[in-house]
Amino acid sequence: MGARMKKPLWVLFFFVMNIAIYVGIDFVFDMNLWNLGRQADMWKLIVTIICVTILLIFMYRVHTKLFKPTVKRKIQLMDLIFVFVTYITLRFSSYLIYNLWSSWAYGTGQSKLVDFFFRAKLPLTTDKYIFALEALSIVVIAPFVEEFLFRGFLNNLLRGKVNTFIRMSIVSILFAAIHFPYYIHNWIQFIDYLIGSIVLFLVYERRRSLFDAILLHSLFNGLLVILFIEIPRRFF
């Protein structure tokens, strides 16, 4: 089946499966069939992570077989430095968008630059297990899945069919669009996601390496904050 299935169908399949997993698990746990009580959120995260990880392994195998990705050159120290500097620059541009533009448009308060850098998209929970699962999902699972879907599958599907600018635009707009629930009340955040996706695209294209894009994505989602601030504060 894999050899005969066309590339667009595989891309569509993985997009649909990714959505189906999250929506399906939400639906099942919202029905409260097992009366899990306070443990429902924890088990929901565990089941989601397991299902998405299985899907991710499948995605990796299919991506390798379909597109036969070849990295332009081996990773060097300067590549890691480049990703980190890009992260700092992207974080600062995000700060400007959220705090300067949003403040002007919506009258929301401005946060300090240092506070903006040292934060992660984590739930306000005192449960260490839920925190650990959420952290794993945000800084590991999400970057892997989203980079494989957008910079891996969709980007390489369009390669050779349209020019680089159109390819970048399609991938970036769709990436920003799927994050609609996060900016439903503030359209300016769409620009932030769009800029982030463009940068991820350029970082990927630099070496044709998903590792670079995944690392940058993970950093932006709060990897350093979680490792060096949140984990020591919550677990030690």
pLDDT confidence of residue 102: 58
Q: Which CA distances in Å does 223 have to 29, 121, 179, 229?
A: 28, 10, 19, 10
The pLDDT value given to residue 111? 58
- Indicate the helix (H) or strand (E) that contains 122: none
Q: What is the pLDDT of residue 69?
A: 87
Q: pLDDT above 70 covers what percent of the chain?
A: 83
pLDDT of 58: 96
pLDDT at 180: 80
Show the CA angle centred on residue 194, arms to residues 72 and 147, nearest 5°: 40
Per-residue model confidence (pLDDT) at position 3: 45
The pLDDT assigned to 114 comes to 56
Q: How high is the pLDDT of residue 230?
A: 74
Asked if residues 152 and 63 have their Cβ atoms less than 8 Å apart, the reply is yes
In the predicted model, residues of the chain with pLDDT beneath 50 are 1-4
Q: Which residues pair with 162 in a beta bridge?
A: 159
CA-to-CA separations, 62 to 14, 105, 141, 152, 189, in angstroms, rounded: 10, 45, 18, 11, 33
Residue 233: predicted pLDDT = 74
